Amino acid sequence: MKKRDKNSQLEMLEGAKSMGVRAATSVSAGAAVGIGNVLSSSIHSVVQNSSLAKQSFGYAILGFALTKAIALFAPIMAFLISSVFRSKDWSDPSQQPNYRAHGPWKPSAEANQRIARISAHLHPSNVQMEESSILGRTNCRAKGGAPGFKVAILGAAGGIGQPLAMLMKMNPLVSVLHLYDVVNAPGVTADISHMDTGAVVRGFLGQPQLESALAGMDLVIIPAGVPRKPGMTRDDLFNINAGIVKTLCEGIAKCCPNAIVNLISNPVNSTVPIAAEVFKKAGTYDPKRLLGVTMLDVVRANTFVAEVLGLDPREVDVPVVGGHSGVTILPLLSQVKPPCSFTPEETEYLTKRIQDGGTEVVQAKAGAGSATLSMAYAAVKFADTCLRGLRGDAGIVECAFVASQVTELPFFASKVRLGRTGAEEVYQLGPMNEYERVGLEKAKNELAESIQKGISFIKK
């Protein structure tokens, strides 16, 4: 009898589990199995007590009723909720879920940055060219932008400026690249900005946006000015380019007085003294931070000497001192590395070709331009050494036209050690042979006139 009662109880348990499963199937197959299992587990725990078996059956009936109720009322609740949401006018700020009593919801700083990043990519010409844009207000950097330095190129749409901008965009030490010019800056900016490198590119057009282009920069490179044309000497460039350099340096003094300035605009022998006088007037002059770029003379010297010696130019190092035009360019061939000797004919040939390298290109282009590509390469090579110096790298030595006490002249090109504050040490010229000593005197005579011309332009 007891065995039969126990069998009846077990049948009742299985029936209860089956009812739970069937009842919940209309809601969710997974949920039904769970309910059936719970009911079965609960009843098994009391199966040994026949007095509780009836209670277990009651629980099963209760579970069945609950699942039926859920299945019935869930669609009704979903309909009511959706009706409420459809009745809201979400264009009304007061209807928005994050609306607060004191006013409409305002985006967080992080939200603003995300909006700015999206806007910068979708509308580069509008966002990057307008000072009032959200990009300007948030000073956002595109996601994935590399850490590094902020660099501005003044004259970025010119013959030197465009390849210079492209090469600087490729430099891993640059995080933000500002491209400024009085014409064509939007097009150059859009073009360069499509390159998949870490630097974020922003463009600035015309005098009203000069200050925005310069704000917060670590390094400013100035290739701005008119190019050399056939029959035009570097002094012929002076009257045009002197005014351009003056205006740009006034902006630097106001917006980024601590930036390192790499001055390319010709004639460098005069434009560097002009920049110095502008900074002195503004009370921001730091001679270590003003560097005239003479790297192209070094690049040419390395190339031409390597050709004569049959070496790779990258293995050659020729110090070039003095200035950056004609006879003021003095290659010290006696100090070439690796050490070597030249015949008098080779010395004369190499010196003359290095001094006239710019004229060689102007004549070869036959009125179509000057040395823009090699100058851009040399400028980027020098800018990279400046950035590595800013980073704190040791042993960074290059030639540059700087304030100097190497000679009696206030400015002179020689080897300098670059560091966090610019040209931290200016080296002496070292031993020279007779040919070089004679060349030095010629260089100083012409260089003195060019320097004074630049100083007089500001003081007149």
Task: For 35-73, write each residue's pLDDT tens digit.
Answer: 445 444 544 444 444 454 555 556 556 666 666 666 666
Q: Work out the pLDDT band at 24, boundaries 50, 70, 90.
A: very low
Same domain, 251 and 157: yes
Please say which residue of 273, 290, 307 terminates a domain: 290
Same domain, 35 and 91: yes
Percent of the chain with pLDDT strictly greater than 70: 67
Each residue of 4-18: b (16+ CB within 10 Å) or e? eeeeebeebbeebbe
Q: Which of 167-176, 189-198, 364-373 has the lowest mean pLDDT?
A: 364-373
CATH number of the domain where residue 394 is located: 3.90.110.10
Domain with 166, as residue range(s), is 146-290
Which three-class secondary structure state does DSSP give residue 134?
helix
CATH number of the domain where residue 210 is located: 3.40.50.720
**33 vs 111 pLDDT, higher one:** 111
Give the residue-averaged pLDDT of 17-22: 47
Asked if the structure places residue 86 within a domain, the reply is yes
User: Partners of 331 in the beta sheet?
Assistant: 320
Please say which residue of 261, 290, 319 terminates a domain: 290
Asked if the structure places residue 111 within a domain, the reply is no
Question: pLDDT (tens digit, 9 = 90+) per residue, 318-376?
Answer: 999 999 999 999 999 999 999 999 999 999 999 999 999 999 998 999 888 889 999 99
Asked if the structure places residue 245 within a domain, the reply is yes
Asked if the structure places residue 134 within a domain, the reply is no
Where does 149-294 have alpha helices with state H?
161-169, 185-193, 210-214, 238-255, 268-282
Are 307 and 272 in contact by the 8 Å Cβ rule? The answer is no
Asked if the structure places residue 110 within a domain, the reply is no
pLDDT in the model for residue 227: 73
Domain count, the chain: 3
Asked if the structure places residue 83 within a domain, the reply is yes
Please say which residue of 95, 119, 134 terminates a domain: 95
Q: Work out the pLDDT band at 283, boundaries 50, 70, 90.
A: very high
Same domain, 212 and 345: no
Question: pLDDT (tens digit, 9 = 90+) per residue, 361-401?
Answer: 989 998 888 899 999 999 999 999 999 999 999 999 999 99
**197 vs 58 pLDDT, higher one:** 197
Are 303 and 278 in contact by the 8 Å Cβ rule? The answer is no
Mean pLDDT of the chain: 82
- Asked about 324 being catalytic, the answer comes back as yes
pLDDT in the model for residue 118: 52
Same domain, 427 and 324: yes
Q: Catalytic one among 44, 123, 178, 324?
A: 324
pLDDT in the model for residue 129: 43
Q: Work out the pLDDT band at 237, boundaries 50, 70, 90.
A: confident
